[in-house]
Every structure is written in C-alpha cells, then in structure tokens.
Structure 1
Amino acid sequence: MQVFRRVPEHSTQPTVLTIGNFDGLHLGHRAMLERLTARGAELGLATTVMTFEPHPRELFTPEQAPARLTSLREKLQLLDGCGVDRAFVCHFSRRLAGLPAEEFIERILVNGLAAKHIIIGDDFRFGKGRAGDFAMMQSAGQAHGFGVEAMHTVEVLEERVSSSAVREALAAGNLEHAAALLGHPYCIAGRVVHGDKIGRRIGWPTANIQLKRKRLPLTGVFAVTVSGLDKRHLPGAASLGVRPTLGQGLKPVLEVNLFDFDREIYGSHITVHFLHKMRDEMKFDSLEALTAQIGRDVKDIRNYFEGN
C-alpha cells in the first residue's frame, strides 16, 4: 500500500475512494473496505482511503477527544491488510475544516484524488459546519461524473458497530464484546523498550511496550497473548496503566509478563492481544503487597488459559 501525506493539486490516476477516521478498523469499517475493494475490481481502478491526522476532535476539543483505538502506524497496517492500494493521511487543520463542502468536493475529491466512485457512510458529514451530506455528494457526483454509494450500518447483537461502541466496551472491561465488534481481540502494537526494571527486581520480569498515544482506551490487568516474536501467540499477563503504587503522575505503560519465556527481546516490535480483563488497576501500600498480588494475578491468568 502506498501512503501519502498530502493530496496533490491534480491527479490523473482515477480511483475508488472512501473517507473516514477508521479508528480501530472495526467490522463496520471492514465491510466498507470490502465493498471498496470489490468496486475497485469491478471498475478496474485502484482503491484509496482518505483519513485524517490528528482526529478532528483532538483539534477542536482536545480535552474531550476520545482515546484512540489505534495509532496511525497500526491503522495503516490494518488498511494494508484489507487490500487498500493507497492511503492519503491528510493533516486535519482549521483551514481544512473551514473548507466549504462544495470546494472540498471539487478541490480534494475531484481534482486532487480523481475519484470516479465514492463510498461513504450513510451518516457521513463534511465541509465547513459539517454542511455536506450524502445528498450533496450525490448531486456533486452527477455534476462531476463520479458515482456515489452509501454504506449502511453494520450491527452486532442488535448494536450499531462504531468506534465509540468499541471504546465503551473496552472502558467497561468487556473485552469479549469489544472483540465481537472488532472481529478480533483488541490489540496494541509497539516496540519493546527498556523500563525501570522494577518487575525484574521483584521477580516478575516484564516486556515494556512503547506507547504512542495520549489516552488509553482501557486500563487494568489482563490475560493476553503476544505475537511477533515467532509464529506462535504466546500467553502472558499484562498490566496497562499509570502504576499508582510507584508514584503519582507517571506516564501510562504497558508491561507484559510472558509465561515460560526468558529470551531477550529488546527492540522487537510486538502485538499484544487483550483477551480478558482480570481486575482494575490498584494502588498497594508496598512493593511487597504489589508483588504478592502479581503472583495471584499470574496464577489466575494461567487458570484462565487452562480453561479456554
């Protein structure tokens, strides 16, 4: 998949296009991308996704912006895995947000991306003041010669699949429901970096995964598997949070204790798959109390794997 950081002023490569944030690549997104690739094959055109960085709400209401389900790198890897040919990562700015809907269509979609067919969600809004909608896009398609189709809502267990629904499930600790909405267990990928070695010092060595996100969609202690080290999914216990026992105001960290594994993996890029939440993050009176609880957590998580 080719990745571009800006939309050109003019393109001569016609494409089938969809637009959105695609945070988490849930089942609704995947249904849209399946339709995109099918339509691209029918028309003999490359498939293109236009997405935005940062998330619009991070620009306008940063204090209320949702926790990201995927980093930009993770999102691009997922898009690539769905068979997308090109991704345009557009810098979302007040200037872009202030572009009138008609100008957005002509400058970005028609001239910049040479869209010949556009697939959008039935509730998609765009342009200054979110004035653009599906009806406007259809009318513009007739004027500029591109097709438009709406992708309708995907439901799981009578619930509309959305990034917000996934976040709510994760925040509530219902990882099984989040997995149903995503089509797979929720994951965080990152590079293994050096930590403060406290886990090793208290007898529970952990792999520390670099986090590149401002807010976490979930916290606590989890049964996880880890991929990326060999062909297996390795079982382990993960802690994700700010480690309140060690101090106040600490940055969030993701630590994983891999079961029956003692290889040095610093620098490896791994993916942590969150299967089940065991408990919330807690503050303990001492490192000894924390160590004892980790022992109980590991025992419980081993029992979880033995029972599944």
Structure 2
Amino acid sequence: MSRATREAYRDVLLPLLLRRPELMCLDSDTGLFDAAYAEAAGDQYLNVGIAEHNLMGIAAGMAASGRVPFVNTMAAFATSRALEAIKIDIAYNQLPVRIMATHGGLAAGHLGPTHQALEDLAVMRVLPGMTVVVPADAAATEAFVEQSTDVPGPLYVRLGRKPTPALPPAPPPVIGQAQTLRRGGDVVLVSCGPYPVLACLAAADVLAGEGVAATVLNMHTLRPFDTQTLTAAARPASLVVTLEEHWRGGGLGGAVAEALSEAAPTRVLRLGMPDQFVDTVGNQEHLVDHYGLTAERVVGTVRTALGTAAPERPGRENVTTRPSHP
C-alpha cells in the first residue's frame, strides 16, 4: 500500500501530543495540518507562518524551557534558509528539537531547484550531536516518530511529499541501526529513502538471477552511523554500491566511504544525482528515472565493476542499463 511519509508523520504525531503534554507541533504554513488538526492539538499546535528562521528560534526557546518541539517545514528551507538557527540555536545547545523536513530530495521536483533538497543530508550529518534519519516508507516513519521522543539532542527527519510504496515485510526499524533487507556475500547495496531502497531491492533480485548475491542495507540513519553492520557486510564482498536521492557529495555515499576507509577498506561506487542543479522539469518519479536513480543503473554498475555481462536467456528480457551519470 502506498502512503506518504509526511502524512504518516502527521497522523502519528497527534496521539503523541495528546499523551505527552511537553510535546509541541510548530508549523510554517505547510498545509499539512488543517483546522481540525489544530483544534484537536489545542495549545500544543502553533503555526508561525512562512518564517523558517524564526521557526527554529522559537523551537529552540521552547526546548530550552522544557518542551520538545516538532517543527514542520520543507527540507530545502530547513537546511539552507534556517541553517544558522539550527546550527547556533539548536545544535550548539544540544536542544531536543525534532526537525521534520518534508519534500526531501526530488519530492518537490515540479517546483525546481529552489525547492529541491539535494544537499540536506550532507549539511545535517556534519552538525555535532544531530541525529539524521531518512524513513523509507510510512511504517518506518511512524516507528521513528514514536522513537524520537527518547532521542537526546536534536533530530532531523527527511520526509517525502507524495505516497510511495511500502517496503517488503522486515523487522521494525530502529534509529541508529541499519536494516539488513537481504543477505549475500558478493556485493553490498546501500541506500536510504523510498525510491533508492526499492531500487536496490529490485536490483538484488536481478543480480541473484545472474549468480551475484547481494546484501541490501537500508541505511536509514546517517547519524549516528551504524559502521558495525556496514563493515560486517562489506568485509566478504568485493564491491559496495550506494544509491541516494541526493547529490553524490557528502550524503550517504560519503558516509559509507568514510566509514569503510577507516574500518574495512573496500571499493565503493557512489550513485546519486550529478554535480549540477536539476535542469529538467518533471515530478519526482520522472526525475528519479531521468537521472538514473534506478535498479537498472545499479545492476549495470555492478556488472561493469565485476566484469560481467547481461546473460542471454531465451524468453527473458534482459535488464537494460541507462547511460552513466556521474
């Protein structure tokens, strides 16, 4: 069943507010919360309008006074326009502010580069003490929102905009612990977020049919980073491939390369958005496909790296690869 991660967050937050009087919901006129929601939340909901820098400052003040604010804005605005307030007011003081950032990655593709967030994970994961989480589906979002009340210090959660498919059944995700969705000893596929994780699972199925066994890790938490699970998977493998809806620099691929270079040196190939602003108009699904954040690209990357070719099998259409994107 497809469901939007931002809607899953909204729906699970209200019962939390009603159970926990110290929690607050601070909005920036996102349109996610209607009048009925505001009425049900009462004094625990406040819409400050389109003023993201002020939003973070207000949240910091509330957190310093014993409240735990969930602040709602778009990822592009949280990690650029409001970054100074996040860095100095929130992270520097290690305050328990939960930054719930919608329209992550290419989710606002139709609005262009001003609203797309392809740098947010790189920006947020370098802030000391900041927990950074990227749910891959609605169920994971619900789990992370519930768990977030016990996370010390600040938290950044990247959410989407439109419904995305649910992942196959797996043990419930836990903040700070990578999810192993599939096990194999030849290659490791690491991803985060709905479309990349689904693409890696599909790629693993194709590779299995070609005799290549892949481990698939849903690295939903970029900080704190689960180096132990990553290195355990990487040690027997000859190749690690990362896929993310983010510029290649500084995001998940960077975190994986940093961790493995110190703990278990392995060849890492990072797949993501090219080093340019998006110059194509389209919705998220179109842009994900256009820029090759797909199972086909993962399979082609593994084939090339391992020196294998697509098998010719009667009655079976081979997976085609797209032109290589940097």
**TM-score between the two structures when normalised by the length of structure 2:** 0.23
User: Which structure features the higher share of strand residues?
Assistant: 1
**TM-score between the two structures when normalised by the length of structure 1:** 0.24
Between structure 1 and structure 2, the one with the greater Rg is: 1
